[in-house]
Structures are given as structure tokens and as C-alpha cells.
Structure 1
Amino acid sequence: MKPIRNSAKAVIVQEGQLLLIRLKDQYGDAFVFPGGGQEKGEELKDAVARECLEEIGQAVDVGELLHIREYIGANHEFAKWDADIHQVEFYFACSLINPKASVFEGSNPDDHQVAVEWVSLEALKDIRLYPKTIGELLVNKGESRIYLGDLN
């Protein structure tokens, strides 16, 4: 079994839209939050800032911690190939240093990454977003939970 991995994610909302990474897999398009694995000796806030540069090609101001989500692969739809994955994800409110940025080309994009896109909060229910629950919390704004547990 692999060790538990920490991952830092950016929640970037601007003018009613959420900045997401579009991936292409065998099921079609999927969307995920920018971010990725924390490196040894790196603070989570530094990890999310570095990952944003790598994946979206933009510097961000890292704000407050919004959510903590666990992903235990054996419990989810991708268990066939993710069964040995256990990841703890930390979602931070972030803002673009250059809010008028229109080019999003990272230096080290994710595997299967095909684009970086703004998606309206209202359209989140219509796309394959991982984790879906965080999109729902952003839209509903009424519920404020930090620790979300193992969910999709």
C-alpha cells in the first residue's frame, strides 16, 4: 500500500466563475481543481502556489483554508485502479495575482490536462467535477464545513 499523500488545491472564484482544469479520460471531459502533491519540507500554502504556476501558469494569493477532503480510492468509482490511493486534500481560497489574465499555460500540466477553463458556478451541476461536493458547497454557500471526510 502506498503512503498517505497530502495535496493542496486552489479554489479560484472570480465574477461568478470557478477556474478549473479540464481533463480528458476514457469517459470524456472531467474537471478538477488546480493543485497537487505537497513536497517534503513544503508548507501547504507554498504547495498550492507552486502547483498553480505549474498547472495554470499563473501566480496566486493563497487565502484561508476552506475544506479538507479525503480520497480513499477503494471507496470510489475508480477503485479498479485507485484502490491503493489515500490522499488528504486541502482546499484553499485563492485569487489570481493578475485577475485579468487570459492565458493559462502551466509549465508542468497534469497528465490528461487539456485546458484551463472558467466555469460558471451555475454550470457546475452540469459537468463531471471532482469532487462534486465542493462545487455544490460553492453554489449553495449556506453550508460551511471544513472537514468533509471521504467523499466525491
Structure 2
Amino acid sequence: MKPIRNSAKAMIIQDHRILLTKNRDEQGEYYLFPGGGQEKYEQLRETVQRECMEELGCEVDVKDIVYVREYIGKHHEFAAWDADFHQVEFYFECTMTTNVDVTQATQLDNDQIGVEWVEISRLHEVRVYPKTLVKNLQDEALKPCYIGDAN
């Protein structure tokens, strides 16, 4: 059994748009919130800062936590290959302190093909993970809540 993994994610919102990583798999394009796995001895805020530099090529100021989400693979659409994966994700409100520059990104994710500002009102039109956060972002201002096991 794999250990539970912590992940820290950035929610960067400007002018009714959110900054997401753009990715491609066999089903086409999809979007993710920038962020990733916490390393040993690293605080979650440090994880967000490192991951934004790796995936976006920018520095961020990490504000308060806004969502906590769990992902238990065996309960979701990717169970065929993700059944033994359990991750707890911490979503932080962030602001950029430098401009996005993917050429300065230090380590893009495997499926990542870029970054994109997506209109929050359009999020339901694209494939975004976790899907659950789309409704939250479109219905209300960021407010701390526990999402639970969701995809």
C-alpha cells in the first residue's frame, strides 16, 4: 500500500480568470491547478512556491488556504490505474510577484504543454481536474472549506 501523499496547489485569480496548467493526454487537452507533491521537511507554502516556479516559471506570494480536497483513486474515473493512490490536496490563494514565463519553468509535469488563463465563467466548458472546484469557483468567492473525496 502506498503512503498518503500531500500536495499543495495554487489558485491564482485575476480579472475573473484563473491560471491553470494546460496538459494533453490520449483524451485531449485538460487543465490542472498548478502545484504538486510536498517534499520531506518542506512546509506547504514552500511547496506551492517551488511548484509554481517549476510549472509556471513565476514566483508567488502564498496567502491563506481556501480548499482541502482528498482524492482516493479507487473511487473515481481513473481507478483502473490509480486505485491505490490517496492524496490530500491543500489549495492556497496566491498572487504572482513575477510574470508567468514558461521558458523559466524548471520542471514541467509530464503531460504539461503550457499554461493558460481561463475565464472562470468558461471553466465548465473545458476538462478541469478536480471538476468539483469548477462549481465552487463559479458560485462563490473563495472561502475555506473541506471538499472531501472528489474528482
The aligned runs of 1:1-152 (5 Å cut-off) are: 1-98=1-98, 101=99, 103-105=101-103, 106-141=105-140, 144-152=143-151
TM-score for both structures, normalised by structure 2 = 0.95
Q: 1:4 to 1:116 in 2, by over 3 A?
A: same
- Measured in 1, the distance between the counterparts of 2:50 and 2:118 equals 22
- Stretches of structure 1 that go unaligned for 5 or more consecutive residues are none
- Measured in 2, the distance between the counterparts of 1:109 and 1:49 equals 14
Q: Which residue identity lines up with residue 95 of structure 1 in the other structure?
A: T
Q: How many residues align?
A: 150
* Aligned-pair identity (%): 49
CA offset digits 1:57-116 (Å, max 9, x no partner) = 000000000000000000000000100100000000001003xx2533311000110010
Over the aligned positions, Cα root-mean-square deviation in angstroms equals: 1.3
- Measured in 2, the distance between the counterparts of 1:132 and 1:32 equals 10
Q: Which moved more, 1:87-96 or 1:103-112?
A: 103-112
- Measured in 2, the distance between the counterparts of 1:119 and 1:60 equals 18
TM-score for both structures, normalised by structure 1 = 0.94
Q: Which residue identity lines up with residue 97 of structure 1 in the other structure?
A: T
Quote the offset at 1:138 in angstroms. 1.2
CA offset digits 1:17-58 (Å, max 9, x no partner) = 100001100110110000000001000000000000001000
Quote the offset at 1:144 in angstroms. 3.9
- Measured in 2, the distance between the counterparts of 1:142 and 1:48 equals 21
